[in-house]
Structure 1
Amino acid sequence: MAWNKHAAALYARQNAGTSSQKRCGEFTRKAIRAGGVDIGNAPNAKDYGGNIERAGFRILGQGETLQEGDVVVIQPYDGGNPAGHMAIYDGTTWYSDFRQRDMWGGPGYRSARPSYKIYRKN
């Protein structure tokens, strides 16, 4: 099945809660699968980068404009959740297991700004 970023974004919007359930990796993985791509499982959100690349996603370069279907994998920060964070963009809003205010998914990430990579499948 070909990648359908619209189906992935729709799944993310329809299944996101109002607050974090600490299941961002699971929800984002399921959204990607709803778009037709199986990225398999990883121990934590921070570990999905390799799976995403093996599924044919590429890492975005600096300054590239975000598009529907882009996926972010954020590494943990000192004092935060050691699992890191993962989310998918619908063209306007970032979603994981909840509708996010921005890519960071929480005040700790927003403040610490740990390393991250954004992925896109064309």
Structure 2
Amino acid sequence: MAAVDVNKFATHLRTHAFRHSGRICAKKVREALEAAGGDTTGHLGDAKTWGTTLLRMGFRELPVEDPDRYKPLKGDVVVIQPYEGGNPSGHIAAFDGKNWISDFIQRDFWSGEGYRKKKPPYVFYRP
């Protein structure tokens, strides 16, 4: 299994980000992983289901108890589960060394007010 090149991953995310959400976070993160040498074969769709694929690709799950104290590194990925009234697909984003990016450059890893307020379950992954 080839490792993901975190520099290529981050660059692809940054250079292909929209100004605002296009509601295609999983597609954009998948494309960036593939551009960086990741094998996403067999992954089906929704952002909320990416954990298993990331583990298969060599990422490891990070135990984060307090997200305010977590210090992301370039290449880290967050998979967030859906919340009631929000997008049923959940959300996925990656850290480019400066910002969290999905299909747009986010303010933080939550990606929006609904996630920030509801704080649904999430998992961080590191390559």
Alignment TM-score, normalising by the size of structure 1:
0.93
- 2:14 and 2:25 map into 1 onto residues whose CA distance is 13
**Secondary structure at 1:51 match in 2:** helix
1:34 maps to 2:35: yes
| 1:80-114 Cα shifts (integer Å, max 9, x gaps) | 00000000101110001111111011110011110
Q: Calculate percent identity across the aligned residue pairs.
A: 44
Q: Give the structure 2 partner of residue 51 of structure 1.
A: 53
Distance 1:98 1:37, change over 3 A: same
Unaligned runs of 5+ in 2: none
Equivalent position amino acid for 2:56 in 1: R
Bigger drift between 12-21 and 63-72 goes to 63-72
Q: Give the structure 2 partner of residue 13 of structure 1.
A: 14
Unaligned runs of 5+ in 1: none
Equivalent position amino acid for 1:59 in 2: E
- 1:95 and 1:47 map into 2 onto residues whose CA distance is 18
1:33 is displaced (CA, Å) by: 1.4
1:72 maps to 2:78: yes
Q: Give the structure 2 partner of residue 87 of structure 1.
A: 93
- 2:28 and 2:45 map into 1 onto residues whose CA distance is 14
**Secondary structure at 2:20 match in 1:** coil
**Secondary structure at 2:14 match in 1:** helix
1:31 is displaced (CA, Å) by: 1.0
How many residues are paired up?
121
Q: Give the structure 1 partner of residue 63 of structure 2.
A: 61
Equivalent position amino acid for 1:15 in 2: H
- 1:56 and 1:13 map into 2 onto residues whose CA distance is 22
Q: Give the structure 1 partner of residue 107 of structure 2.
A: 101
- 2:55 and 2:9 map into 1 onto residues whose CA distance is 17
Q: Give the structure 1 partner of residue 118 of structure 2.
A: 112
Alignment TM-score, normalising by the size of structure 2:
0.90
Equivalent position amino acid for 1:33 in 2: E
